[in-house]
Amino acid sequence: MRRALLLLAALALFGAAVAWSGPKAARPEFDFALEKTNPVTHLKLNNDPAEFQFAIVSDRTGGQRAKVFSRAVEQINLMQPEFVVSVGDLIDGYTTNKAEIAKQWREFQTYASRLQMPFFYTAGNHDLANKVLDAAWKEKFGRSYYEFVYRDVLFLSLSSEDVPGAEPGTVAATQLAWLEKTLADNASVRWTLVFVHRPMWIEGDPKKTGWAEVERLLAKRKHTVFAGHIHRYQKFVRNGANYYMLATTGGGSRLRGVEYGEFDHIGWVTMKKTGPIFANILLDGILREDLATIPTDEEGVKDYFRRPTYPVQAKVFRQGKPLVGAYVVLRGTGKDPRQPRADGLVEADGTLRLSTYAAFDGVPAETYSVTVELRKPQSLADGTPGKNMLPAKYADPKTTPLRFTVKGGVANVLNIDLEE
């Protein structure tokens, strides 16, 4: 009897061992114990497989600043988007020296290659400023305009530089024909995202540059447009669609902050079923977990045309009252072909902080014509300037009666009080 009991016990242990070593039941992807009351708002996770996130980088040129774009690359790696798209102006360009062009692209691609996700190029005016640069682009990247589809969203990278060196840029007939066919071939996508360097809806005559035809082709579909070039952030609404003009990711900027739309950032797009959600992520707000500085040896481009600047104490009034929000521009009237230009917005107490090369850095010695505008709003949703509340003569450098001379080594005081 005792032997029988020992045998049964051994068999029981063997069976338990077999059960333990067998396949485990698959654990659910999300395992949360539901009780009568729960410490959560709801259990509908924000993880629809049709939705995704990607980043956009903007201009790096026009006075490229050291250690910005290369740092942005590492910051993007921290954010982990699915891919990155550019809006152009990636190298300083504006040269016909093939060795220099190769050097500039080699430097840029050194940084772009550090991204842990794909990077999609868009051509800017610095990248395609002349026929030599255009040939270098074709050798390295082939197409200057192209498309791809991801999760039923059509991505279009257009070239606003169809004619190298043209101002303010064009979309030629061949590209328009390609665009029309591409849109027809992708008629059923749920959204179309357009990337182009120049904001051609505010630059030049859209009917002459080809942008009016681009908008006509896009008119019957859900779409969003992204551009750069101006180095200032602004949102527009045209034909019921959102248009975003990005600031900089290391390009020349006075960096006066959000009020002026001047900052280094990446655009962050979350593509939902209802359309894209756009967020500005300022580079200063992306920090490593240890708060350590991201090391980089990226060199900037020195601006050889900068002049010394001098402080200017300025106030702008109208009939004795501060002209709050007025936009004031000082344009040099000297013979130098690269005349300085300073500007600023009038603050609540009537003071005006002028900037030429950097935030509130002052003004070079020179004689200036001074224009003053007060637009309400500053611009309409489609980019058209708002109504100017001041006499038109003050808005035109050819007709403004206002002049001001800045000198070094003296107290420069600019007091404007418009009587009209």
Q: What is the pLDDT of residue 6?
A: 44
Q: What is the pLDDT of residue 23?
A: 65
Q: What is the pLDDT of residues 44-77, one digit of tens each?
A: 999 999 999 999 999 999 989 999 999 999 999 9
Q: What is the pLDDT of residue 154?
A: 98
- Residue 414 pLDDT level (bands cut at 50, 70, 90): very high
Contact between 196 and 158 (Cβ < 8 Å) = yes
**For the chain, which residues make up each domain, given as ranges?**
52-285, 309-418
Q: What is the pLDDT of residue 228?
A: 98
Nearby residues of 35 by Cβ (< 8 Å), 6 or more positions away: none
Q: Range with the lowest mean pLDDT among 21-25, 143-147, 231-235? A: 21-25
Q: Range with the lowest mean pLDDT among 133-147, 161-175, 209-223? A: 161-175
Section 75-91 average pLDDT: 98
Strand ranges of the sheet holding 327-332, from the earlier edge strand across to the other edge: 341-345, 327-332, 366-373, 403-406
Does residue 367 carry a pLDDT above 60?
A: yes
DSSP codes, 369-383? EEEEE-EEEEE-TTS
CATH code for the part of the protein at 309-418: 2.60.40.180
- Residue 18 pLDDT level (bands cut at 50, 70, 90): very low
Q: What is the pLDDT of residue 337?
A: 83
Q: Closest by alpha carbon to 271, among 189, 196, 179?
A: 189
Question: What is the maximum alpha-carbon separation in the chain?
Answer: 121
CA distance 164 to 127: 9
Q: Closest by alpha carbon to 165, among 134, 199, 203?
A: 134
**Can you give the length of the chain in residues?**
420
Question: What phi, psi does 13 have (nearest 5°)?
Answer: -65, -40
Does residue 363 carry a pLDDT above 80?
A: yes
Average pLDDT, the chain: 93
Percent of the chain with pLDDT over 70: 94
**371 alpha carbon, distance to own chain's centre:** 28
Assign a CATH topology to domain 52-285. Purple Acid Phosphatase; chain A, domain 2 (3.60.21)
Q: Structure pTM? A: 0.91
Does residue 404 carry a pLDDT above 80?
A: yes
CA dihedral 196, 200, 202, 203 (to 10 degrees): 120
Residue 346 DSSP one-character state: B
Q: Name the one residue in this structure whose structure tokens are 């959560």.
A: 40
